[in-house]
A and B are shown apart, each in its own frame.
Chain A
């Protein structure tokens, strides 16, 4: 998928991010991330993106902000209990997940949202974490 390729590109740019400093990169990257994901997925900047395991349907748009699947209130037509005119985020997520390479990811139990990460860049956090893991792996094999 495009998103996987995109994240490896971001990871390849790791030397650049660390040269600039992750803290300094935060502001411009967050700006871009907000615009891009806002336009494509109606992103709410929760700072801990799980789009890749929710069929690219943002769970923070669910009025109950459910991150683990649909509630029992989904209407017969597949619309939301709270907003009758809006299709259920999780009905969309399930459809989306079927078309994805890693379709099992939607079955993972997600941890509660860490509210202290709101309004920060998930891209940079994931990249920094991946880079750290890569380095750990290198140092352990060396």
Chain B
């Protein structure tokens, strides 16, 4: 079988297979490698489909190809029902994508969650993000029973125990522990502000190795937070990715501010959007400007782009902000053998060639006698 040369951070035996374990690494995934090499990482959030069609997931992932180091599969974010993070990860891992599987404590108890962690790791999920989850009141089914058996902190500790001590919360042994890189969320933009850096310290103590922040629209506030984080030495114990995203219009910004829990949008941002002729364009510009400021902050290891329903802009935003420098993240490419088949099919379907042996011989002799 013909093969194309493997890309960086790719298993030569198959894109869907785990990478060689490296010393000091918890996972066998791509994201951890990028971060530990000290490269500025980019992750993005996939908008989960309201469908049972695998193609919907693949199409939504394909627009990130070559631009991101990891794709977040959200677990009913905002308490709205969508395809599960487990389902999305099952589809994406078999195509070789690096997934960050989110687990929210809102919908499942400790028995279900520990089972899912094993299943996810077995499928090739390299990164698990532990979240408390939005309250059920925020979503489309406010009558649901909120579970919250664990909280994000005890969830982190549970998965870390499974990975490092090779046992369930109950103490029962695991035969193969889940090799996952552990993530958590931070929100530097919500009160009580004094507590927030301590809370990050707590998450690190519970097992967090990387964190992704809530949307950042207030850079001075982030700088203040990061200063305290550096003073506590937390940026050396954990990779910090700052959440960013384009706002489609001033109206959307206002709606998000009053309806999405935990998102802080200063008035200056809304004024800037209102003053622009093309608000959508300005929203994208604003996002790039924020990234340019954020990437210079000491202790920031990457960005997490949440371009809800504007996912097609992610490539542009990442490109124009220049955060990748000249680096090219992994991109799903066909193998040489697949490429040959595709070329041949293309020829048969579109060039309308004659495939009859007699005619083929005649054509060949005609071209050689010319």
- Cβ–Cβ contact A65 & B148, under 8 A: yes
B235 within 8 A of A: no
A2–B206 Cα distance when bound, in Å, is: 31
- One digit per residue, 1 when the CB lies within 8 angstroms of any chain B CB and 0 when it does not, for chain A 103-132 equals 000110111110100000000000000000
- In angstroms, how far is the closest chain B Cβ from the Cβ of A9? 32
The residue on A at minimum CB distance from B185 is A72
* CB-CB under 8 A for A91 and B202, given A64-B135, A65-B151, A73-B135: no
- Cβ–Cβ contact B214 & A72, under 8 A: yes
- One digit per residue, 1 when the CB lies within 8 angstroms of any chain B CB and 0 when it does not, for chain A 78-114 equals 1001100000101100110000000000110111110
- Cβ–Cβ contact B132 & A91, under 8 A: no
Q: Which of B137, B185, B191, B202 contacts A109 (CB 8 A)?
A: B202
- Secondary structure type dominating chain A contacts: loop
User: What is the number of residues of chain A that contact chain B, defined by CB distance less than 8 Å?
Assistant: 30
- In angstroms, how far is the closest chain A Cβ from the Cβ of B252? 19
- Cβ–Cβ contact B199 & A70, under 8 A: yes
- One digit per residue, 1 when the CB lies within 8 angstroms of any chain A CB and 0 when it does not, for chain B 146-162 equals 10111111100110000
Which residues 54-88 of A sit at the B interface, judged by CB distance below 8 A?
63-76, 78, 81-82, 88
* CB-CB under 8 A for A73 and B149, given A64-B132, A107-B202: no
* CB-CB under 8 A for A94 and B195, given A69-B153, A109-B153: yes
- In angstroms, how far is the closest chain B Cβ from the Cβ of A101? 18
A112–B192 Cα distance when bound, in Å, is: 23
- One digit per residue, 1 when the CB lies within 8 angstroms of any chain A CB and 0 when it does not, for chain B 220-238 equals 0000000000000000000
The residue on B at minimum CB distance from A91 is B192
- In angstroms, how far is the closest chain B Cβ from the Cβ of A121? 23
* CB-CB under 8 A for A82 and B192, given A66-B151, A109-B153: no
- In angstroms, how far is the closest chain B Cβ from the Cβ of A28? 31
A76–B190 Cα distance when bound, in Å, is: 6
B110 within 8 A of A: yes
* CB-CB under 8 A for A66 and B132, given A107-B198, A109-B157, A112-B149: yes
- In angstroms, how far is the closest chain A Cβ from the Cβ of B148? 5
The residue on B at minimum CB distance from A82 is B135
Which residues 31-73 of A sit at the B interface, judged by CB distance below 8 A?
63-73
- Cβ–Cβ contact A81 & B138, under 8 A: yes
A70–B135 Cα distance when bound, in Å, is: 13
- Cβ–Cβ contact B192 & A90, under 8 A: yes
A90–B105 Cα distance when bound, in Å, is: 18
Which residues 137-194 of B sit at the A interface, judged by CB distance below 8 A?
137-138, 146, 148-154, 157-158, 169, 185-187, 190-192, 194
Contacts of A64 in B (CB 8 A): 105-106, 132-133, 135, 146, 148, 151
Contacts of B205 in A (CB 8 A): 109
A82–B146 Cα distance when bound, in Å, is: 11
B264 within 8 A of A: yes
Contacts of B150 in A (CB 8 A): 112
B10 within 8 A of A: no
A64–B147 Cα distance when bound, in Å, is: 8
* CB-CB under 8 A for A63 and B195, given A68-B152, A109-B153: no
Contacts of B157 in A (CB 8 A): 109, 111
Contacts of B202 in A (CB 8 A): 68-69, 107, 109
B66 within 8 A of A: no
B134 within 8 A of A: yes
B201 within 8 A of A: yes
- In angstroms, how far is the closest chain A Cβ from the Cβ of B334? 41
- In angstroms, how far is the closest chain B Cβ from the Cβ of A19? 35
The residue on A at minimum CB distance from B196 is A70
- Cβ–Cβ contact B151 & A72, under 8 A: no
The residue on B at minimum CB distance from A68 is B153
Q: 10 A-B pairs, CB-CB below 8 angstroms?
A: A66-B132, A67-B153, A68-B151, A69-B202, A70-B199, A71-B262, A81-B134, A81-B262, A94-B194, A110-B154
